[in-house]
Structure 1
């Protein structure tokens, strides 16, 4: 991996408009949008490169994505193409490669379904598997489009800003009323209105699980509508050079706009004076002050580690949400001939509906961008949910367990890629402990999931917190997990902070 080089970190004499803790995509979108409006912004990143879960690392000629390679938000039309908009705001761009199929599902009882970029082709394929549910399939996915079309008519900014809400309502009254209708609903409730086949309902569960890590009953309809429609509208588009290019380009734009980012700058605590967040202190002891502090850490890391005590509002939130599992990751380099002609980039493998927590996710980004691997080889990144508690073992046992679990996953992959074991050229195994160490996420968690069935997105907090001057951004704020979702959170946070700072021209997304 090529380490980013930070400038000499100065003594804390400058008062910034905003300090962002962490350079995940949510934090970087917040930073770039504020810098584009003239705010003096500082991003503090504990690692040596930006991106967090959207970062990368290099080994023996392979460039691996840290997280998923299935990227939304790079469309060219509408308002939901948030990554495109984030880059444009700071005058940078990124070449992307369109993916014709979002996911190739390999499911129990030999059920195989491809989610084609072409909507009608996808519906046709799914209907061929469930011909008796023809009408229900179309009605459910068409209802997802109703949600998406509401979102796609308006600039996606802060729902905490009354003037913005008033402006949007008068511009798009029907779209706003539509979103209000869907806010308290979950995808599973909508699906059961139209569909009765239990296997098809299970399919919709795995459709949700592959990005929300919970079944349809616990997945907000707003999120489902966005994902299930944008994959056909804006499509899945892979960044040339790997997912890590997104963060690299956002940093380039941030610096062009006058913002700053420091690496190897780990925040130890948030400084609170007179009950207000006013700065941060690094583990080195250096302090930096700002009018507004924005945490791109998880809410658990923010309120349990960076502040002296947990506010009552956060305790209440933790009663509704819990940490999702982390992942066991296998980063593989394999001989190209092991992949048949026509292999899709993304796959999901599940052999038993009752064991959804053992789902295997597969990304093969070199099918879209061959330059990420040596000639004649492919990258296969495969991962499955895993809890950090399962890895609290001695060093010797830890290495043995990694080898054992990796072997089991490769054996399962042989079902869809026969000969993969013999074709291995490189393997690196990452556990929840790896995520915790390098991504600075408590227990390596993917983000929050509901403890019980909640009313859609109504329980998810926005960007402001109960601590004056402190905001949160990222996957533990509205609207939740996923790269485009955290970009939404970043736009909303930048909007809210800019209004609070008096940069009123940010009322409208430009």
Structure 2
């Protein structure tokens, strides 16, 4: 067995958390190897090619480039330039036959809420509080790379790194978004439906379950700069990949990690490629960017027991049903690229508990993603992995019924779609997702927010095994591209501290 010892750090999985950690280490001169089992890098923030079109891994928005946000820091520190164009307004929400436009301008957004939900004084008070909390959360989270604290010294850092005047925000770790809505008098049925569906995209949970500390950022993300990556999110991953390769690192796709074991101060990482070739690498540092649920299967002994224990608390998580559709471009010019469509009150998509669908479209004229005169649409909605894994004989029928229902909703509610000719359509369920990105049970989007889980109960970035670190959406601070980027930056800070 030939052992490759060329690398200072090995990263398992090429999602945005691992890519960010890799880029930060590469800028300091560390030789990094990233191992990815799938055909394309990027995990859930990637693109794939199908029948002449480029589709995104799921319907998704992109923020985090404003000052004090994680992608701003990543670019700032490394000099990487992620190709992007700002889009404004970033999104429309279609609810009860009405279009609610998510303006970036905060005053304009408050007035839009007043137009649709009424009650100006209460709406203004609620949103002003949400902006205040969200701005502070972004600023504070970037300033505290060793969170959640794991050592006495890190508790000390929390005291010295932060302004004592910011402590007021912590009460919102114990108050849900629903509590805060009641407090400000905006808890109407229609507004709650709107808030619940927005939170399902950003927090994977509804207003009762999401602490306002996280929910504020989840509700106001459209009030920061939102971006589109021409050619698809894979181009963002490729920009980071080039940087790492130029610094002597490497990214191998179609090479999955089968086992991580320890040998003295070093880790042995055993892999198998899709061509059935086996490789072994040795390095003092390993960063896992795969979900905590997957880790017990690729570790043994104490390590495996640790991950089994960590994953036990988070046995509930969402999967997704996603559709990729290519149609001719018959959409109104002013239609935003992102649209959240509510079903009729009380309706759900078959074989899901989902009350809304989220649509992300390619930009008109993006000739990498769609040929001239055509557009691609990515549609996502939440689904229970357990249900889709228990279908057996009825799986194909259920999948077709979900697809037909979603297409019918688009024809009724997405402007222009009723006149569109569908050239390509394919549907993926949690089962498909597990085959694509190898996440256990096809769970995507991390761990749902929960009032029962305190800030300190998040899976930490540092494990009890010296040199083994975790990032990605099942660690603090959770899901979304800015969230996982922050987790990668935090892992880098820990490594810098522990392995000077």
Bin of the TM-score, shorter chain as denominator length: 0.7 to 0.9
Shift of 1:500: 1.1
Q: 1:93 to 1:342 in 2, by over 3 A?
A: same
Quote the residue 2:93 is aligned against: 105
Equivalent in 74, 81, 88 of residue 93 of structure 1: 81
Tell me the equivalent position of 1:192. 182
CA distance in 1, matches of 2:152, 2:19: 25
Q: CA deviation at 1:488?
A: 0.7
Q: Are the aligned partners of 1:97 and 1:368 in contact in 2 as well (CA < 8 Å)?
A: no
Q: Deviations over 1:189-228 (max 9, x none)?
A: 3222112323322322222112222102222333323333
- Determine if the alignment matches structure 1 residue 54 to structure 2 residue 42: no
- Alignment-derived partner of residue 358 in structure 2: 361
- How big is each residue's C-alpha offset from its partner over 1:104-163, in whole Å with a ceiling of 9 and x where there is no partner? 1122x435422111111111011122223x222222222222223324445442324877
Between the aligned partners of 1:387 and 1:206, the Cα distance in structure 2 is 16
Aligned to 2:492: 494
Question: What aligned pairs does 1:256-405 form with structure 2 within 5 A after superposition?
Answer: 256-273=246-263, 278-283=267-272, 284-308=277-301, 314=307, 317-337=310-330, 339-354=331-346, 355=348, 357-367=354-364, 369=366, 371-392=368-389, 398-405=395-402
Within 5 Å, give how 1:457-496 maps onto structure 2: 457-496=455-494
Query: 1:46 deviation in Å?
Result: 1.3
**DSSP 3-state at the match of 1:357:** coil
Correspondent of 2:231 among 219, 241, 247: 241
Measured in 2, the distance between the counterparts of 1:192 and 1:320 equals 30
CA 1:442/1:128 → structure 2, altered by over 3 Å: closer, same or farther? same
**Matched residue SS, 2:343:** coil
The alignment's TM-score, normalised by the length of structure 2, stands at 0.88
| Structure 2 residue runs without a partner (length 5+) | none
Cα deviation digits, residues 466-504 of structure 1 (max 9, x gap): 3333211000000101111000111101111221111xx
Q: Does the 8 Å CA contact 1:320/1:452 hold for their aligned counterparts? A: no
Structure 1 CA distance for aligned equivalents of residues 195 and 485 of structure 2:
25
**In structure 2, distance between residues paired with 1:35 and 1:141:** 40
Q: 1:183 to 1:306 in 2, by over 3 A?
A: same
Instruction: Say whether the 8 Å CA contact 1:220–1:457 is kept in structure 2.
Output: no
Residues 270 and 346 of structure 1, relative CA distance in 2, 3 Å threshold: same
Match of 2:135 in 1: 149
The separation in 2 between residues aligned to 1:322 and 1:494, in whole angstroms, is 28
Tell me the TM-score normalized by structure 1.
Answer: 0.86
Change (3 A) 1:249 1:175: farther
Give the length in aligned residue pairs: 485
For 1:7, the equivalent position in structure 2 comes to none
1:147·1:225 contact (CA, 8 Å) conserved in 2?
yes
Matched, 1:211 2:202: yes
Deviates more, 1:27-36 or 1:263-272: 263-272
Cα displacement (A) at 1:174 = 3.9
Q: For structure 1, which runs of at least 5 residues remain unmatched after alignment?
A: 1-9, 503-510
CA RMSD of aligned residues (A): 2.9
Tell me the residue number matched to 1:507: none
Q: Tell me whether 432-441 or 277-286 shows the greater mean CA deviation.
A: 277-286
Decide whether aligned partners of structure 1 residues 259 and 185 sit closer, same or farther in structure 2, where only a CA change above 3 A counts: farther
Whole-Å separation in 1 of the counterparts to 2:448 and 2:482: 20
- Aligned residue for 1:480, secondary structure, equals coil
SS of corresponding position for 1:381: strand
Determine the C-alpha separation between the residues in 1 that align with 2:391 and 2:460.
40
**Pair 1:136 & 2:122 matched:** yes
CA offsets 1:158-181 (integer angstroms, 9 cap, x no match): 324877775675464146524544
- The aligned residue for residue 124 of structure 1 is 111
Change (3 A) 1:459 1:190: farther
